Amino acid sequence: MTHQPDPLLPGVLAIDAGNSKTDVALVAADGTVLGSARGGGFQPHLVGPKAAIAALVPLVAAAAAQAGHTLGGRPLTSHVSACLANADLPVEERLLQAAIAEQPWGVTADVVNDTFGLLRAGTDGPRGVAVVCGAGINCVGLLPDGRTARFPALGELTGDWGGGAGLAASSMWHAVRAEDGRGAPTALAAAIAAHFGLPSSSAVAEAMHLGQLDRGRLHEIVRVLFATAQAGDGPALELIDRQADEITRLAIVALTRLGLLGEPTPVVLGGGVLASRQPLLIDNVTARLAAAAPRAEPRIVVAPPVLGAALLGLDHLAAAGLGGGPAAQERLRSAYSLQDQVAA
């Protein structure tokens, strides 16, 4: 067996790679954040696992530089904890883990779907359910014995609906149909047009199709949707109600699969759409959960998702006797809590 050299910095390289942004953090074994960096979205299903991981190299290098080190032949740290969007199937997780193993980042590495990071950020241990509603939507559940509840999360192909991309596309659907007469009237049409400074929502669609508007701006429509719903628009309210129903359905199915429906269980809610704490959505979700799973304990995570990846990494260190215990985890949580206060 080949001996692995000792790492430069004992600790964890935490990676949270989402559809819209990626965060990395270099965390010491005592929970101190040594360096961090942020980049764009992570899409291995489009570019392939090796290319997607290679695109993370500048971010890891930037985090290492903050800690006073450069990447080289020696492992940067003890363990890589990667919580990755679009790692939805076991084969995808294996391919991504193999790609990370080729990098000089850690002595060991674990890859899981990013929703497991959200779950860990909102709980103190491996028990509960998490629903992420960010650019997309997904749900996982976990028991201490390792049993999980998961969904393929491949979009419409596997029955998924919603998240920022889904809400924005559905808002456009209603808006354009209202303008051309195929659909019911909705204030979304005028509100979307005004947001982009164009004469109609149809013009917004055409501008995105022709590349005159960056299609990446589609997510901005989610804010327009909530504002329009707040003013009482029927179709806008229906979309938010449908999103609340989807979120609750995912949580209830996961709770049921794990035998937790009748037990007090954390239900962690996160991702940009839920973390924005829009009352129209949050109140709807909590009311539905109270009716269908009265012992569920909903909680919203607003801390950066990389916190969950880092906590999973510290769990790994603690199990191996390399630090990462309760004091380290509390120090890490405190660091991100302070960040949240500054951001607020």
pLDDT higher than threshold 60 for residue 2: no
pLDDT higher than threshold 50 for residue 108: yes
Cβ-contact 269, 298 below 8 angstroms: yes
The pLDDT, as a whole number, for residue 341 is 34
Strands (E), the chain: 9-17, 22-28, 33-39, 77-84, 106-113, 128-133, 137-142, 148-150, 265-270, 296-300
Tokens of 7: 């790492």
- b/e map of 216-228 (b: 16 or more CB within 10 Å)? eebbebbebbbbb
Q: What is the mean pLDDT of residues 180-208?
A: 98
pLDDT digits 0-9 by tens, 247-272:
999 999 999 999 999 999 999 999 99
Q: What is the mean pLDDT of residues 102-111?
A: 96
pLDDT higher than threshold 70 for residue 322: yes
The pLDDT, as a whole number, for residue 318 is 97
The pLDDT, as a whole number, for residue 3 is 57
DSSP H/E element including 248 = helix 234-257
The pLDDT, as a whole number, for residue 342 is 31
Q: What is the mean pLDDT of residues 46-51?
A: 93
d(CA 42, CA 50): 12
Closest CA to 43 of 14, 16, 18, 74: 18
Strand partners, 157: none
How crowded is residue 330: how many other Cβ atoms within 10 Å of its Cβ?
11
pLDDT digits 0-9 by tens, 14-24:
999 988 899 99
Tell me the C-alpha to C-alpha distance, in Å, between residue 311 and each of 13, 57, 65, 120: 11, 22, 22, 7
Strand partners, 313: none
Closest CA to 77 of 105, 53, 54, 56: 105
| Burial of 77 (C-beta count, 10 Å sphere; 0-12/13-18/19+) | buried
The pLDDT, as a whole number, for residue 1 is 41
pLDDT higher than threshold 80 for residue 344: no
* pLDDT tier at 45, thresholds 50, 70, 90: confident
Query: What would the DSSP string read from start to end of 267-286?
Result: EEEESHHHHTT-HHHHHHHH
The pLDDT, as a whole number, for residue 300 is 96
What mean pLDDT value characterizes the chain? 94
* pLDDT tier at 206, thresholds 50, 70, 90: very high
Percentage of the residues of the chain whose pLDDT score is greater than 70 = 97
* Residue 80, φ and ψ in degrees, nearest 5: -105, 125
Tokens of 75: 């492992």
pLDDT higher than threshold 60 for residue 186: yes
* pLDDT tier at 338, thresholds 50, 70, 90: low
